[in-house]
Structure formats: structure tokens, C-alpha cells
Amino acid sequence: MNHTFAKPPAVFDGLLGMQDWYVNNIRDYCRAHDSNQTDYRREGCFAEAERNHLARFAPSFSETDIEDYGSLKNFCDYYDSLHKKYCPDAVYEPELAYQSYADIESKLAKAEEYFSSGYFKSIDVCCGEGYKPFSDYIPLYRIAEKYGVLKRMHVGETGTAEEIEEAIDTLGLDEIHHGINAVHSPKVMKLLADRKITLNVCPTSNIKLGYAKSYAEHPIKILVENGVPVTINTDDLLIFDSSIDEEYQHLYDAGTLTAKHLDEIRCWGISNRIEK
């Protein structure tokens, strides 16, 4: 791109610090470089899925990503072509994520269109916790439920273990993104273990955002010891610069988890599809 990018700080000032850095340093280089609306950040994820031999690839998209292509059909055609071009062997499970602070009521009509298409396999709410009571998202998750997609949410990354439980009870979540603060409550860890609610954990993200101290002290160790199902993920490949294989390697090198544990997590990650 003929541009020298500033190095990110070792640790961002939380989610907002990361967002600030992204907006000021790289966002303009990530999107819409030409009339074909190429998004190198996204395309790179598909290429990486192949390089990393991913069996199950679940990239997250926002409504804006769809709108950028003018229609849902154009969007689907474009990303299907990337799937076909780069990683045809990976099971492709696109996720549609909503911003936690969005006005939910105004999103419902489009959500109906997007989920009824069958293109998206899961729903997520992300971009910061605690903006609204969980009950505000019920209409959105009802639509997701109607079309049988996996119900996920970013919760317990900065929020408490009790909030994880409340989100599960209120929205009927099938899985949690992050959820690492469950580690502070034996009761919530037991609930996750008993109901087999998977936490999709992103170790490097947690460390770089200041939500975990180090790989060695990452909460995933205690979560696994308490029988909580987890998967290991990249969160944001471009910013955190750590691929799936590297995430596993970091946890192994730091002595956080044994090879046996890591392999069990790998198998769970590619097999835990909930049949609806």
C-alpha cells in the first residue's frame, strides 16, 4: 500500500483504546480501495483460514458490511466467492453482529430479511457491554431464534460472571463470546459446564486489551479445569496479529494448557455445532 503503519501499543486502553487506534491508523486502508469495494482486512481472513487449515470458519459481519455492497445478494455473492476462492474446504458459518449500543427497534425489519435468507448461521451483539439491559435485545434474539441460528453475545469480557448468567437466562444464549469473567464464579462455571454453553475465548485479544494479565495467567486454564467448554479464537486477526495456530502455541508455550487439553479444545471447536 506504500504506507508505513504505526505500531500499535503493547496493550491498548481497553476496547475503546483499540477502536481509537484502529480509526486513526488503519481503518482508511482497510475498506473500499477501489470501485469493487475490496476489503483487504476481510479478504485476508479468508486467505488465513486456508493457510491455517481451518475446518470451521466463522467470520463476523456487521450490517454496515452488508450495506456496503448495496444489497444482501451482492454481499453474499462476494463473500461466497472469497470462500470458494480461498478456503473451499472450510465449513463457512458467517455471523451477523449488532452493536450493543444500537437502537434495536430500528434494526428489526432488516434483521428479519438478513436471518430469513439463511446466509447467517449465528447472531452476536458486540462492541462493549453494559449499554442496555439484556431484555432490550429480546426482539432481536427472537428473530434469530425463529430462523434457527446460534445465539451468541459478547458478554463477560469486561462484564461480570453474574451478567453472563443473566444474559443466558434472558436471551437463551447458546454460546458466549469471551465470557472469561465466569472464572470469578464457581456457580456460573458450573452452569456453563452443565448446560454445555461454550465460551469462545480469544487469549491474545484479552491480553492486548488489558483484560487478562498474560498467557500463563489467562482464565482459560481455570475455566477448562472446571469443565467449561471453550474454543480458541483470534477475535480480530489484523489488529491482534495472532492466528489460530499461534493462539494454541502461546497457551502451550506458557504452560497454560497441556497438549491434551488443547487437542480436546480443537476437537470441540470443530464438532460442537448445535443441530436445530
Looking at the Cβ atoms of 163 and 235, the one nearer to Zn ion is 235
Looking at the Cβ atoms of 174 and 235, the one nearer to Zn ion is 235
* Exposed/middle/buried for residue 135 (C-beta within 10 Å: 0-12, 13-18, 19+): exposed
To Zn ion, the closest distance from the beta carbon of 223 in angstroms equals: 17
Query: Which stretch, 168-176, 208-216, 231-239, 250-258, contacts Zn ion (CB under 5 A)?
Result: 231-239
Looking at the Cβ atoms of 105 and 179, the one nearer to Zn ion is 179
Looking at the Cβ atoms of 129 and 235, the one nearer to Zn ion is 235
Query: Which stretch, 13-21, 80-88, 214-222, 227-235, contacts Zn ion (CB under 5 A)?
Result: 227-235
How does strand 122-126 pair with strand 95-99? parallel
To Zn ion, the closest distance from the beta carbon of 233 in angstroms equals: 8
Site pattern 183..222 for Zn ion (x: CB under 5 A):
----------------------------------------
For 104-130, letters b (16+ CB in 10 Å) and e give: beebeeebeebbeeebbbbbbbbbbbe
Angle made by CA atoms 158, 234, 132, in degrees to the nearest 5? 30
- For residue 14 the three cell numbers come to 481497553
Looking at the Cβ atoms of 175 and 235, the one nearer to Zn ion is 235
Nearest alpha-carbon partner for 90 in 55, 51, 50, 59: 55
Query: Which stretch, 115-123, 130-138, 163-171, 229-237, contacts Zn ion (CB under 5 A)?
Result: 229-237
Is 129 a binding residue for Zn ion by CB under 5 A? The answer is: no
Is 247 a binding residue for Zn ion by CB under 5 A? The answer is: no
Q: How many CB atoms within 10 Å of residue 103?
A: 9
To Zn ion, the closest distance from the beta carbon of 154 in angstroms equals: 6
To Zn ion, the closest distance from the beta carbon of 230 in angstroms equals: 14
- For residue 162 the three cell numbers come to 453474574
The Cα 18–Cα 208 span in angstroms is: 9
Looking at the Cβ atoms of 119 and 240, the one nearer to Zn ion is 240
Query: Which stretch, 75-83, 133-141, 162-170, 232-240, contacts Zn ion (CB under 5 A)?
Result: 232-240
* Binding residues with Zn ion: total (CB under 5 A): 1
The Cα 21–Cα 7 span in angstroms is: 10
To Zn ion, the closest distance from the beta carbon of 133 in angstroms equals: 21
**Do 145 and 173 form a contact (C-beta atoms < 8 A)?**
no
The Cα 123–Cα 208 span in angstroms is: 25
Is 235 a binding residue for Zn ion by CB under 5 A? The answer is: yes
Query: How does DSSP assign 166-201, residue by residue?
Result: HHHHHH--SEEEE-GGGGG-HHHHHHHHHHT-EEEE
Looking at the Cβ atoms of 70 and 101, the one nearer to Zn ion is 101
**Which stretches of the chain bind Zn ion, using CB under 5 A?**
235
